[in-house]
Amino acid sequence: MNQITPFKLLILDCDGVMFDTTEANRTYYNRLLRAVGLPDITDEQFTYAHMHTVFESVDYLFKTPKRIERAHQLRQQMSYATVIKEMRIEPTLRVVLESVRPALKTAVATNRTDTMNRVMTEHGLTDLFDLVVTALDVKQAKPHPEMLEKALSHFGLNPDQALFVGDSVVDQRAAQAAGVTFAAFRNRSLTADLHVDQLDVLLPRLLL
């Protein structure tokens, strides 16, 4: 854990950190799978889809070129907006964001693509973040460090001035590659500078 340099930037992953998206994402992918005659998503498949972009997930779930093409066609018809209401916001998220701003900059680094703007708007979070970086904003999604590096560059900060909170191995690898401090959220299997189960636990360190 960073012991010397005060943090200037808090970066959060979306799924599994800002929101519990288990039911929303499971519902969404099951609709796509059922529409092409495939069985519901398994736990193993869901773990993969939870961490990766929708493009990577569709390739992984649908396998063949014909099914992949059909799944992307269906994505245009089956808006994710219909399941946004099933996303459960982390209870202390707003408290943390309101407490650290404006002393700290706040950012999102998510492998979501074209759904993130709607998610932010629907849940009233747009004004609480200074920057949102999605998989559409970079050439390489997590676990590549480009998202985190983009956030650092945007604010003119060094890696030791940022804290990234994530819940998956792709988050862990991105943090390690970018050289930022990593807080693992509700996942004790990850290698991290610290492990937390509630976001507000981070406040004493963020408000130094």
Tell me the pLDDT tens digit for each residue of 149-173: 999 999 999 999 999 999 999 999 9
Predicted confidence (pLDDT) at residue 4 exceeds the cutoff of 60: no
Stretch 37-48: mean pLDDT: 96
pLDDT at residue number 5: 64
Q: Which CATH number fits domain 9-20+88-206: 3.60.120.10, 3.40.50.300, 3.40.50.1000, 1.10.3210.10?
A: 3.40.50.1000
Residue 190 CB partners (closer than 8 Å, separation 6+): 167, 168, 169, 171, 172, 182, 184
CB 144 within 8 A of CB 175: no
Query: What global pTM score does this model have?
Result: 0.91
Q: What ranges do the domains of the chain cover?
A: 9-20+88-206, 22-85
Mean pLDDT, rounded, for 23-32 = 94
pLDDT in tens, 52-81: 999 999 999 999 999 999 999 998 888 888
Q: Does the structure show a pLDDT above 70 at 201?
A: yes
Q: Report which of 150, 155, 179 is spatially closest to residue 102, judged by C-alpha positions.
A: 155
Give residue 163's Cα distance to chain centre: 14
